[in-house]
Amino acid sequence: MLAIIEEWIDATLASHAAERVSCVSLSPHFEGYFSREFLSQSYFVVTDELPKPDFPALHDLGLGGFLALDADGITYKDTYFIRPAVVDKVDLHFHELVHVAQWRHLGAPAFIERYARELLQFGYERAPLEEMAYSLQRYFCAGNGRPVDVRKFVLARC
Ligand SMILES: [Zn+2]
């Protein structure tokens, strides 16, 4: 199952390769949080339709609720997809970039396995990989603390 999902991800990323935008343009917003180098290797695609792997087997596993979730963004490997209405929301970019850092650190098979397991065990809002992204996003939005190196943070806690 993991291999099938990863194949679907690779095909999805390949089919949107021409539309993806480098995150390096966001670097002035994220000084101290994400390096220029990290951002230059991360991408986003603006699209009305967030691609999701809608396989029957995933519904059978109990992931139908997540697949139906009306999210503003979703991350696969080094690329996240966001809706046009939220493209100017810096904090949403921040949130998805935390997921890029998680994908990069864990590697695709481990990220997929862990994310799915956490969804089933805790639900979306309490899934630890999501909680990490939301708590860092809140910290970033509050804007009154010292910047946190997100890659190091992920490395220490994933
Ligand atoms: Zn998230």
Q: 73 CA distance to ligand 1 centroid (A)?
A: 8
Q: What pTM was computed for the model?
A: 0.97
Q: 60 CA distance to ligand 1 centroid (A)?
A: 22
CB within 8 Å of 126: residues ≥ 6 apart: none
Q: What is the C-alpha to C-alpha distance for residues 2 and 44, in angstroms, rounded to an integer?
A: 23
Q: 99 CA distance to ligand 1 centroid (A)?
A: 7
Q: 117 CA distance to ligand 1 centroid (A)?
A: 15
pLDDT digits (tens, 9 = 90+) for 15-71: 999 999 999 999 999 999 999 999 999 999 999 999 999 889 999 999 999 999 888
The Cβ of residue 90 has, within 10 Å, a number of other Cβ atoms equal to 13
Residue 90 binned pLDDT confidence (cut-offs 50, 70, 90): very high
Q: 129 CA distance to ligand 1 centroid (A)?
A: 8
Residue with tokens 């809002």: 125
Residue 145 binned pLDDT confidence (cut-offs 50, 70, 90): confident
Closest CA relative to residue 31, chosen from 147, 154, 151:
147
